[in-house]
Amino acid sequence: MSNAVLKEEISPPKGRPRSEKSKNAILKATNSLLLHKSVQELSIEAIAKKAKVGKTTIYRWWPNKTAVVMDALINQPGMQTPLPTPRNNTEAVIMQLEKLIRLLQSKNGEVIAQLFSEAQTNPESHKIFENSFLSPLIDAIAFSIDRGKAEGEFGNTFDTKTIVDILCGPIFFRLMAHRPDFDDAFQESYPRKAVSLIRAN
């Protein structure tokens, strides 16, 4: 009953409802085009054409290209696989770093690097990249580190923010500066070694 009331209060949905079909077509077209083009080369016009959709429909629901690409990225199959429960905070951080590297290793890595690039110039893109990708990632790691500090797993030499930078920075740097070296060997060795640096301190 309270549910019904809430529903009524929240949504008096006037007008024709948003077409899920179009939404999916847009995201699908975006992912498809990203296989052969960079985010910067991608045009709203091309997405609209490929998705057989009016440009206005895209502009109606996303503020800019970054938002569309971000959405397309997130809505990919197998993007939301949850982590297994870690035994301690050290392991939690390691698992998070491994997951990050795994994510960045696929084709997605390129796209994310390009979104990161977009974010450098365009403030609106920055906000979207921050909110949809960077913050969740950083917050999760920071949370584990904070708990690890409290529980004595990690030292207090660095503040949490800097630790996150020390752990994640090299990953993004390698991704963007010399992607060829962003390989399986890196994925396997980096997380454990990096975290051990922090533990030791």
Positive or negative: CA dihedral 105, 110, 112, 117 = positive
In the complex with its own copies, the residue whose CB is nearer, 38 or 88, is 38
Check residue 28 for interaction with DNA (CB under 7 A). no
CB of 168 to its own copies, least distance (A): 6
C-alpha neighbours within 13 Å on the C-beta side of residue 103: 24
Check residue 178 for interaction with DNA (CB under 7 A). no
Nearest 5°: phi and psi at 191? -55, -50
Map tokens 């939301």 to a residue.
80
- Binding DNA by CB under 7 A: which of 6, 7, 21, 157? 21
Q: What DSSP string describes 160-177?
A: HHHHHHHHHHHHHHHHHH
Could you list the residues that contact its own copies (CB under 8 A)? 38-41, 110, 113-114, 116-122, 130, 134, 157-158, 161-162, 165-166, 168-174, 176-177, 181, 186, 190, 193-194, 197, 200-201
Where in the chain does DSSP place strands (E)? none
- Binding DNA by CB under 7 A: which of 28, 32, 50, 57? 57
Residues that bind DNA (CB under 7 A): 12-19, 21-23, 25, 43-46, 51-57, 59-61, 64-65
